[in-house]
Amino acid sequence: MPPRITPLVAGLPATVPFVGPETQERQRGTRFRARIGANENGFGPSPKAVAAMAQAAGEVWKYCDPENWDLKQALARHLGVGPENVVVGEGIDGLLGLTVRLVVAPGLPVVTSLGAYPTFNFHVAGFGGRLVTVPFADDREDPEALAAAARAEDARLVYFSNPNNPMASWWPAETVVGLMDAVPDDAILCVDEAYGEFAPDGTLPPIDVSRPNVLRFRTFSKAYGMAGARIAYAVGAAPLIREFDKIRNHFGVNRIAQAGALAALGDTAHLAWIRERIVEARARIGGIAEANGLKPLPSATNFVTVDCGRDGAFARRLLVALAQRGVFVRMPGVAPQDRCIRIGCGPAADLDVLEAELPAALAVARREA
């Protein structure tokens, strides 16, 4: 007899939200020359973070601090809140999974945007939630439509990213506050701010932990260059944050990641340097796109979404042609956003490869149309 897994899990497809570049490299039998598809920070973490992680590696025989005490104290000071308002987890992905687990049971409605971050949907499916989606409007998530769907469906959870992945678009803080006001009080609003450090001034609302149903998610994966360390945090009202202690993996954030995040948070000079590099890279990607007849969309992130001017089939052919030339990029998964490809900001050497290979890849995609 096979193992008796739950009917819910038995009915789910065996998929992952993203196919990693390593998987594609194994399939191709060669490594990518330009890894600019996963919104990673190719400029790297703070040297102070690297040193702190190297030192912590010598003590990796010890378990991590299950309270994440030092990092929570530092984050609280950084954000102007109490440590009781902060929970640390294994990347935003892990924290989103815990949030879904807090409130979602089979059949209960959850609202998100059609084509928004797929890992959130993955967690909702894993707990049997009923996903309700609203379309993007002009390549941005639609806050009014999200709030209306939450009210109409009696949703338990609403997901909204600002700045947005995969379109790199954003809303000003006052619009986000309007969404916070409009979501029903008994629904949790998840505001994913993974790219917040790259956004224009006035994009992120001030932290307000008096709102009992709002969670703000931030990460060390993007601006701090620590995607492989898997460490992020959520900020919210203390009673809601306490609920995470009932279900979180208390030893899930490893000792090395905690040390690196603590050091990275204190290195404001490196963060400023990273922001400068990202601005430069966004401008260069935009120039490469325009030189090839493509349209770069405005970006508040560490990637540029490029409108290929046709449909999803064409963008997918371009993606394949770039991969065959050693360039790893990704694309949105849902029409009409899937007319685009998404190119990560990387070092000059990576963008040199993109610049050299894009014309030939476009020629192939157009020839196969």
Section 250-277 average pLDDT: 98
CA–CA separation, 152 vs 144, rounded Å? 12
* Residue 75 belongs to some domain of the structure: yes
CATH number at residue 32: 3.90.1150.10
CA–CA separation, 263 vs 64, rounded Å? 16
Quick one: pLDDT at residue 333? Answer: 95
Boundary of a domain, candidates 223, 247, 266: 266
Whether residues 329 and 251 share a domain: the answer is no
Average per-residue pLDDT in the chain? 97
* Residue 7 belongs to some domain of the structure: no
* Residue 25 belongs to some domain of the structure: yes
Do the bridges between strand 157-161 and strand 188-192 make them parallel or antiparallel, or are there none, so unpaired? Answer: parallel
* Residue 28 belongs to some domain of the structure: yes
Section 343-357 average pLDDT: 98
* Residue 13 belongs to some domain of the structure: no
Q: How confident is the model at residue 1 (pLDDT cuts 50, 70, 90)?
A: confident
Whether residues 274 and 254 share a domain: the answer is no
* Residue 3 belongs to some domain of the structure: no
pLDDT at 2 over 90: no
Whether residues 346 and 243 share a domain: the answer is no
Helix axes 255-266, 69-79, angle to 10 degrees: 30
Boundary of a domain, candidates 237, 266, 295: 266
Quick one: pLDDT at residue 264? Answer: 98
Q: How confident is the model at residue 369 (pLDDT cuts 50, 70, 90)?
A: confident
Whether residues 125 and 31 share a domain: the answer is no
Whether residues 289 and 304 share a domain: the answer is yes
pLDDT at 360 over 80: yes
Whether residues 194 and 54 share a domain: the answer is yes
Question: Do the beta carbons of residue 118 and residue 18 sit within 8 Å?
Answer: yes
Whether residues 275 and 293 share a domain: the answer is yes
Per residue in 88-139, pLDDT (tens digit) is 999 999 999 999 999 999 999 999 999 999 999 999 999 999 999 999 999 9
Section 291-315 average pLDDT: 98
- Position 229, amino acid: A
Quick one: pLDDT at residue 17? Answer: 85
Whether residues 40 and 123 share a domain: the answer is no
Question: Do the beta carbons of residue 143 and residue 160 sit within 8 Å?
Answer: yes
* Residue 146 belongs to some domain of the structure: yes
From residue 1, how far is each of 4, 5, 228 by CA, in Å? 8, 12, 39
pLDDT at 15 over 90: no
CATH number at residue 204: 3.40.640.10
Per residue in 330-339, pLDDT (tens digit) is 999 999 999 9
Q: How many domains does the chain have?
A: 2
Boundary of a domain, candidates 266, 297, 317: 266
Q: How confident is the model at residue 368 (pLDDT cuts 50, 70, 90)?
A: confident
Q: Where in the sequence is the domain holding 295, given as residue range(s)?
A: 18-44+269-367
Per residue in 46-67, pLDDT (tens digit) is 999 999 999 999 999 999 999 9
Higher pLDDT, 242 or 1: 242
Question: Do the beta carbons of residue 216 and residue 207 sit within 8 Å?
Answer: yes
* Residue 79 belongs to some domain of the structure: yes
pLDDT at 324 over 80: yes
Quick one: pLDDT at residue 182? Answer: 98
Question: Do the beta carbons of residue 337 and residue 113 sit within 8 Å?
Answer: no
Whether residues 244 and 291 share a domain: the answer is no
Quick one: pLDDT at residue 337? Answer: 98
Whether residues 255 and 307 share a domain: the answer is no
CA–CA separation, 167 vs 141, rounded Å? 9
Please state whether the predicted TM-score (pTM) of the whole model is above 0.95: yes
CA-angle at 297, arms to 291 and 299, nearest 5°: 115
Whether residues 156 and 257 share a domain: the answer is yes
Question: Do the beta carbons of residue 139 and residue 169 sit within 8 Å?
Answer: yes
Whether residues 28 and 163 share a domain: the answer is no
